[in-house]
């Protein structure tokens, strides 16, 4: 069993309220969850308007599959949000 995780930090300069941020986060998390069947949640910096930090985790039977899923999630996030990715932390166990 292999566990792939990634922590993605995004910067959304146009967000000016927590309500607006939560709408973006909720939509992004739902899209990722539905497309890849992974666990995704907002972590850290939840009270800062323009910083979004999400974590994604998947469990697979092969390390290469876990790595592939995580890479596809990162690409999907890049393609489906206007926010700038400022940091990516991947881990495979």
Question: What's the token pair of residue 50?
Answer: 């323009």
Question: Which domain covers residue 28, as residue numbers?
Answer: 2-92
- CA–centroid distance for 31 within its chain: 10
Report the CATH number at residue 69: 3.30.70.1120
Residue by residue, what is the 3-state secondary structure of the chain?
CEEEEEEEEEECCCCCCHHHHHHHHHHHHHHHHHHHCCEEEECCCCCCCCEEEEEEEEEECCHHHHHHHHHHHHHHHHHCCCCEEEEEEEEEC
Distant-in-sequence, close-in-space partners of 59: CB < 8 Å, separation ≥ 6: 1, 2, 3, 4, 66
At 78 the pLDDT is 93
Across the 93 residues of the chain, what is the mean pLDDT of every consecutive 10-residue run? 95 92 94 96 90 96 93 95 93 91
At 40 the pLDDT is 97
At 41 the pLDDT is 96
Count of the separate structural domains present in the chain: 1
Whole-prediction pTM value? 0.90
At 46 the pLDDT is 85
């Amino acid at each position: 069993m292999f566990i792939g995780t990634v922590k993605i930090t995004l910067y959304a300069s146009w967000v000016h309220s927590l309500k607006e941020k939560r709408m973006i986060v909720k939509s992004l998390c739902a899209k990722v969850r539905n497309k890849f069947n992974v666990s995704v949640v907002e972590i850290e910096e939840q009270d800062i308007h323009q910083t979004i930090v999400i974590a994604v985790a998947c469990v697979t039977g092969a390390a290469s599959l876990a790595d592939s899923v995580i890479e596809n999630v990162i690409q999907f996030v890049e393609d489906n949000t206007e926010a700038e990715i400022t940091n990516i932390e991947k881990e495979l166990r």
